[in-house]
Structure 1
Amino acid sequence: MAVTGVRYETDGHALLTGIDLDAHPGETVGLVGPNGSGKTTLLRCVYGTLRPTAGRILLDGDDLVTLGPKARARRVATVPQESPAEFELTVRETVRMGRAPYKRFWEADTAEDTALTDEALARLGIAGLGDRAFPSLSGGERQRALVARALVQRPALLVLDEPTNHLDIRYQLEILGLIRALGTTSLLALHDLNLAAYFCDRVHVLNAGTVVASGAPGDVLTSELLAEVYRVRADVTVHPATGAPSITYLPSEW
């Protein structure tokens, strides 16, 4: 997946300006940056709820901007930041919704649909929750179900906007570990830089609607960058157990 020269404007105000970034096959790639930096806007351009003012978003050589909603949904699956939990569907029915791009609305489920749904439920560790009502699930269980729904779309690209939002640390680690283990090309926005440093192969840092740094977490997430982009003092070391960058934020008076 490659984003080249993407710009997005609304009411004469540019929210994204000349975004260039990529995600290689099988990579877990993080978008990080302060609030208002453009992470969610960029993801919405990638999965199609916003149309870029300029630029291209290429997946296997095809420009996603030119595809219709159903064709795009066969290539890109998304787990948005906020998903309503009020709909009265079972977990299995919720996951099976991911097969919608492959059929007309009146067509019944096929044996393949059932098999893919069962496989996704098992892969996300929620096979025993299939008959539960989706609203009855915990936050971590809901996120697993939504990732399972995305998986049954058989996407080439999985896009996730703050997949650990509102989850306690156990579920944050579990969800990101599962996403990384899927082997699918994944592009995800994260607030927590330590999680991004540990789980992402590469990170792209956004600030004021543009990419200001890209690369491996250890090369990008430096004290200097955090001071410039986030306006905080931080000590960045290498964690002795994980080998990943470990960020400790320092009070301004230190």
Structure 2
Amino acid sequence: MTELRTEGLSYGIGGRHLVDDVDLTATHGETVGLVGPNGSGKTTLLRCVYGTLPPTHGRVLLDGDDLHAMGAKARARRIATVPQDGQAGFELTVREVVAMGRSPHKRFWEADTGTDAELVRSALTRVGVADLAERGFASLSGGERQRALMARALVQQPSLVVLDEPTNHLDIRYQLEILSLVRELGTTNLLALHDLNLAAYYCDRIYVLAAGRIVASGTPKEVLTADLLHAVYGVSAEVSIHPATGAPTVVYLPSTHARPPVEHNSTTM
């Protein structure tokens, strides 16, 4: 049973808090979404969770273990990350990049096994890039790189998957396929999303960030309201329940008068 928990998590630089006193949980098998405007702290929070940024204050706990007290390799055995923009500088094939997901489970320079090769083959097929296996990673489009990095996360066999805008660069078919795959993994998942309708459909719970703080949390139905969208995003919207999916659906309304976001201090639990 895998549970992620942050306790009073903060990260500051230059006297400014980019993430400020965040308490968050993601329980076993849950898909938990982070939403909020640009600059709200989503990516910084995820980087604190998966270990590339050390928190200024607070802790990140996975099954009660402090992740920042672990070595990088021990952390990588338990957490897989899919970054927002996969670096295109790898002078490796797609197959080799995906196979890197097995490295946390190996000794230095230990050769790949037949089991490793099968895990890589299966992951490439599952995310729809098997035909690109021998292509250079740097030659891929942004969407192809994103799917290859998802395959790398799969072969890592983690208990927690952290994804920063996993649908970036993807057309709608692959957006839906990748998010469906995330939910089918059986892992605990924490992901940042810009698209509120995707978050409403694929996330069990949502945390809303503004200026580095959590301003609302709960199920999509509890969180995604017209009042909150105006308060946090400064937009007018209608929110209804879709008759087929049962999920909230957000329709943005054009306005001739731009309204700035207002301070939103309450938290929905």
CA–CA distance in 1 between the matches of 2:207 and 2:111?
42
Cα shift at 1:180: 1.7
Q: What amino acid maps onto 1:46 in structure 2?
A: V
CA–CA distance in 1 between the matches of 2:173 and 2:88?
21
* Equivalent residues of 1:28, 1:187 under 8 A apart: yes
Q: How does 1:148-187 map to 2 (within 5 A)?
A: 148-187=151-190
Say yes or no: does 1:92 pair with 2:105: no
CA–CA distance in 2 between the matches of 1:146 and 1:138?
12
Say yes or no: does 1:40 pair with 2:43: yes
Cα shift at 1:225: 0.6
Q: Aligned residues: percent identity? A: 69
CA–CA distance in 2 between the matches of 1:126 and 1:229?
38
Equivalent of residue 250 in structure 1, options 249, 253, 262:
253
Cα shift at 1:252: 2.0
CA–CA distance in 1 between the matches of 2:63 and 2:131?
36
CA–CA distance in 2 between the matches of 1:156 and 1:167?
25
Cα shift at 1:141: 2.9
Equivalent of residue 15 in structure 1, options 4, 7, 18:
18
Per mean C-alpha deviation after superposition, the further-off stretch among 61-70 and 36-45 is 61-70
Q: What amino acid maps onto 1:233 in structure 2?
A: S
Q: What amino acid maps onto 2:61 in structure 1?
A: L
Cα deviation, 1:61-115, whole Å, max 9, x if unaligned, reads 1111111111111111101111122323222111100111122332211233223
CA–CA distance in 2 between the matches of 1:57 and 1:181?
25
Cα shift at 1:59: 0.7
CA–CA distance in 1 between the matches of 2:205 and 2:52?
25
Say yes or no: does 1:110 pair with 2:113: yes
**1:8 aligned counterpart, secondary structure:** strand
Cα deviation, 1:166-213, whole Å, max 9, x if unaligned, reads 222222222212222222211110111111111111111011111111
What runs of 5+ residues in structure 1 fail to find an aligned partner?
none
* Equivalent residues of 2:85, 2:146 under 8 A apart: no
Cα deviation, 1:123-161, whole Å, max 9, x if unaligned, reads 323334322332343433322211110111111110110
User: 4+ runs of 1 displaced by more than 4 Å?
Assistant: none
Cα shift at 1:122: 3.0
**2:216 aligned counterpart, secondary structure:** strand
Q: What amino acid maps onto 1:204 in structure 2?
A: Y
* Equivalent residues of 2:84, 2:163 under 8 A apart: yes
CA–CA distance in 1 between the matches of 2:114 and 2:176?
33
* Equivalent residues of 1:79, 1:147 under 8 A apart: yes
Say yes or no: does 1:78 pair with 2:78: no
CA RMSD of aligned residues (A): 1.6
Cα shift at 1:54: 1.1
- Aligned partner of 1:122 in structure 2 is 125
Give me the TM-score of the superposition, normalised by structure 2: 0.89
Greater RCO (Cα-Cα under 8 Å, separation 6 or more): 1
Q: What amino acid maps onto 1:68 in structure 2?
A: G
- Aligned partner of 1:53 in structure 2 is 56
Say yes or no: does 1:213 pair with 2:216: yes
CA–CA distance in 1 between the matches of 2:206 and 2:60?
18
Say yes or no: does 1:143 pair with 2:149: no
